[in-house]
Chain A
Amino acid sequence: MDASRGHMSFCSTRQDHHQSSHTSQVPERPGAQLNIRSLLEMGFSETQADEMHEGALKSRGKHIPSILTVLLLLGLNPASILKIMQKCPEMYSLKGAEIQQRIDNLRKLGLVEGSLQRVISHYPKVMVLPIKRVNMVSRLLKEKCHVTVQQVTDILRDSPEVLEEDLARLEYKFQYAYFRMGVRQAEMVKAKMFRLTLSMLRCRHCFLERRGLYQTPDKKGQTLILNPLLKDFICVSEETYLTQVAMATAEEFHVFCKLIEREQEEEFSNEEQELDD
């Protein structure tokens, strides 16, 4: 909490900075020179500064210095900042203040120093998403999936991709794991399940089920066979999944995924038809 308050005081400095560089950007050539110089001053190497500058020109970003200040203050080094901007050029068109607000919101959702930086580095898109969107997803997780506050934080940390997912699909994915596979929330979080798309989750699960290696627990939570742990077949590579858990060839699995995809589409369109009738 202290860190974030400390942060707020830096904001004014950032604002000043932003003002000055913004005005200095107006003249054509000398402005560009200046800009590169200010990048160098911020600690970017010459090539990094060039690349950053080029990216800024391409995306016509107007508030680069303020963005960079926020990111630097977050403790990210120039190299990772450049990588972030390159991974997600939409960042260029934001304002420093917007980014700051979004960072503050993520802190409110429990992302602490370290995790916060890691999420932003690995998944810069998180900065582009409106606060409203982020909060909607976190509310859905809490209210519809009955996930604890701590678990929401863990999900955001391990699987920030959920923030972009269609809400109905996200809820459906949860229901699939909960009802169809008989998995509790804690296990889902531990397995980083929310990272997977619904169709991949379904493929991996149904493949095991039809091979006779997975059973939906009954009402008492019992199965006739010992199910593998979710984390052992969800957050592993396809190769590990196939050789250690499913004991199958990649060819079989790929054909299976195509088949189950089609089965699903057809089930879906049948349901639609029934609704129409």
Chain B
Amino acid sequence: SKWAQTRPKFPSTTIALQNFDATYSIQLGNLWPSVRVAMLSEQKYGALINNFSSTASVITSELQAEGCIDFIGSHQHSKDSMPLHKDSAEVDVSKLATQEPTISPDIKCLVFPQGDISRFKPSRQDSSGLLGYYLLDAASVLPVLALDLQLGHAVLDLCAAPGGKTLALLQTHTVSFLLANDSSGSRTARLCKTLQSYMPRENLEENKIQISSFDGCKLGQIEEKRFDRVLVDVPCTTDRHSVMVEDNNMFNRSRTKERQRLPLLQIQLLMAGIHAARPGGDIVYSTCSLSQLQNECVVQQAICQAQEMGISVQVQDLGWLTRCFSNTFYFAPQLSVGELVLPHLCANFGPIYMCKLRRSN
């Protein structure tokens, strides 16, 4: 009959889901069903406008005419619209006093409004062959915003391929030097291709942007104390992908060991990021998993390990970020460290976890 599909008996997606049911139902409690149904349904994208393209403003207006909103630029005006998360409406006054970073006005990321399931068309090339926008999970722009890039910064993107976040941070036009690294050769090649499709050749030919293909864990020693900002966007269980796509699935039986070693690798990569940051520099750690083990635990472990080596790092509050964007994203309530965007049917972005650290010595 119609229903008897020829699926393997235990597809990796099923194993992933069983695994998540067991762990996340405890971790997220009664929020889990809502996150689960969102992850199993079509995700929403954001169009990161490429301001290196001559068509950037035309495309922005076109998309706005279709009903899109630049969630980054519009957050100031959206005070009266509904926050997705009820708790986020209660503003913590004590935190407001601390100075909030200004968000770069150059990064534009357009999304369809809450509950709107429209899709973006594939991006088109302008007359010089540059693409007008890059489609990504809109929540993955948040770790870049959390970096709070300032003019003249030297930036390390430790696990950069295929380059969505690299592209986002380049949109700010603040970076004086960027090292974009990814240990996988084939993925580094993709990163190059991404940059070529979005950046004018002259920008790439200057020595401002370097691309490398090292094991990120070793980069800490090579590039010790060199960067103002470090983005550590680690490999993880890519939860949404794992429950939806059989191909290249982390929960495939053959990858069990690799999957179990993820938290260790993540700690090593974050440690490398901390080493590569100059004193006073900031590190943002991010994943696209809901897993406490890969998120908060990794951060806490890394802080301990750094301490043992005499490096002091402090967790930086990202409350300002969640307050700004609670109309666009559904943030998990109160984590021990960092912030987490939970998938939700009305705003089906994420999961994206991020935590910001400052190295003080």
A interface residues with partner B (beta carbon < 8 Å): 172, 175, 179-180, 207, 210-213, 247-248, 251-252, 254-256, 258-260, 262-263
Q: Report chain A residues within 8 Å CB of B117.
A: 255, 258-259, 262
Are B42 and A247 within 8 A (Cβ)?
A: no
Are A210 and B40 within 8 A (Cβ)?
A: yes
Q: Report chain A residues within 8 Å CB of B41.
A: 210, 256, 259-260
Which residue of A180, A212, A255 contacts B21 across the interface (Cβ within 8 Å)?
A212
Q: Report chain A residues within 8 Å CB of B346.
A: 251-252, 255
Residue of B nearest to A266 (CB): B42
Interface hub of A172, A179, A251, A263 (most chain B Cβ within 10 A) = A251
Q: In the complex, A127→B171 CA distance in Å?
A: 68
Beyond A172-B2, A212-B36, A255-B346, 12 additional pairs, beta carbon < 8 A: A179-B2, A210-B40, A212-B25, A212-B32, A247-B30, A251-B115, A251-B345, A251-B346, A252-B344, A255-B115, A256-B41, A259-B41
Q: Is B210 an interface residue (CB 8 A)?
A: no
Are A248 and B33 within 8 A (Cβ)?
A: yes
Interface hub of A172, A211, A248, A262 (most chain B Cβ within 10 A) = A211
7 smallest beta-carbon distances between A and B, as pairs: A211-B33, A210-B37, A179-B3, A210-B40, A252-B345, A255-B345, A211-B37
Q: Report chain A residues within 8 Å CB of B30.
A: 247
Q: Report chain B residues within 8 Å CB of A212.
A: 21, 25, 32-33, 36
Q: Would you give 7 A-B contacts (Cβ < 8 Å), ordered by A?
A: A175-B1, A210-B36, A247-B30, A248-B37, A252-B344, A254-B115, A256-B37
Residue of B nearest to A252 (CB): B345
Are B40 and A252 within 8 A (Cβ)?
A: no
Are A211 and B36 within 8 A (Cβ)?
A: yes
Q: Report chain B residues within 8 Å CB of A262.
A: 42, 117
Are A175 and B37 within 8 A (Cβ)?
A: no
Given the interface contacts A211-B36, A212-B36, does A179 sit within 8 Å of B1 by beta carbon?
Answer: yes
Q: In the complex, A259→B37 CA distance in Å?
A: 11
Q: Report chain B residues within 8 Å CB of A210.
A: 36-37, 40-41
- Shortest CB distance A8–B (Å): 45
Size bracket of the B interface: 10 to 19
Q: Report chain A residues within 8 Å CB of B61.
A: none
Q: Is B34 an interface residue (CB 8 A)?
A: yes
Q: In the complex, A179→B344 CA distance in Å?
A: 29
- Shortest CB distance A7–B (Å): 44
Which residue of A175, A213, A247, A256 contacts B345 across the interface (Cβ within 8 Å)?
A256
Q: Report chain B residues within 8 Å CB of A207.
A: 37
Q: Report chain A residues within 8 Å CB of B36.
A: 210-212
Residue of A nearest to B119 (CB): A262
Are B34 and A252 within 8 A (Cβ)?
A: yes
Instruction: Scan residues 1-42 of chain B and give those whose CB is less than 8 A from a CB of chain A.
Output: 1-3, 21, 25, 30, 32-34, 36-37, 40-42
Q: In the complex, A226→B3 CA distance in Å?
A: 22
Q: Report chain B residues within 8 Å CB of A252.
A: 34, 37, 344-346
Given the interface contacts A251-B115, A252-B346, does A259 sit within 8 Å of B21 by beta carbon?
Answer: no
Residue of A nearest to B243 (CB): A210
Q: Report chain A residues within 8 Å CB of B37.
A: 207, 210-211, 248, 252, 256
Q: Report chain B residues within 8 Å CB of A248.
A: 33-34, 37
Q: In the complex, A247→B117 CA distance in Å?
A: 22
Q: In the complex, A258→B33 CA distance in Å?
A: 19
Q: In the complex, A81→B25 CA distance in Å?
A: 56
- Shortest CB distance B328–A (Å): 15
Which residue of A180, A211, A263 contacts B3 across the interface (Cβ within 8 Å)?
A180
Given the interface contacts A211-B33, A252-B37, does A175 sit within 8 Å of B115 by beta carbon?
Answer: no
Interface hub of B2, B33, B36, B115 (most chain A Cβ within 10 A) = B33
Q: In the complex, A179→B4 CA distance in Å?
A: 9
Residue of A nearest to B25 (CB): A212
Are B2 and A175 within 8 A (Cβ)?
A: yes
Interface hub of B1, B25, B37 (most chain A Cβ within 10 A) = B37
